[in-house]
Amino acid sequence: MPLISKVPEIVKREFKLEDYVAQAVENYARMIDSTPDHVVNSALKMTVFKDKEFSRWRKEQKANAGRGNTAQTPQGGAKA
């Protein structure tokens, strides 16, 4: 087993950000000597995959897919 894994697949997506958020991403990337893409990717991973409600929802989706049920949308609104 290699010590270093291959680079993960990167897909291009387009999102609209509030101006001050876009500026903060740019500034943060500059501070850590990285790219805005890396900052956004890292921030989303930290947020999305630590959300317990999202985790439960994903498990439900996998269970439903295993039973042949159609995917359902998450209940409730987004939290800010």
Strands (E), 1-80: none
DSSP string, 46-66: HHHTT-HHHHHHHHHHHHHHH
Task: Answer whether residue 71 is part of any domain.
Answer: no
Q: Note down the domain range covering 29.
A: 19-66
For the chain, 80 residues long, give each residue's pLDDT as a single digit of tens: 778 778 788 899 999 999 999 999 999 999 999 999 999 999 999 999 999 999 999 999 999 988 876 555 555 444 44
- What lies within 8 Å, CB to CB, of 25 at 6+ separation is 17, 36, 39, 40, 43
User: According to the model, what pLDDT value does residue 75 have?
Assistant: 52
Task: Answer whether residue 2 is part of any domain.
Answer: no
Distance CA 39, CA 25 (A): 7
Distance CA 44, CA 11 (A): 14
Count: domains in the chain: 1
35: left (phi over 0), alpha (psi -120 to 50) or beta: beta
User: According to the model, what pLDDT value does residue 35 have?
Assistant: 94
Task: Answer whether residue 50 is part of any domain.
Answer: yes
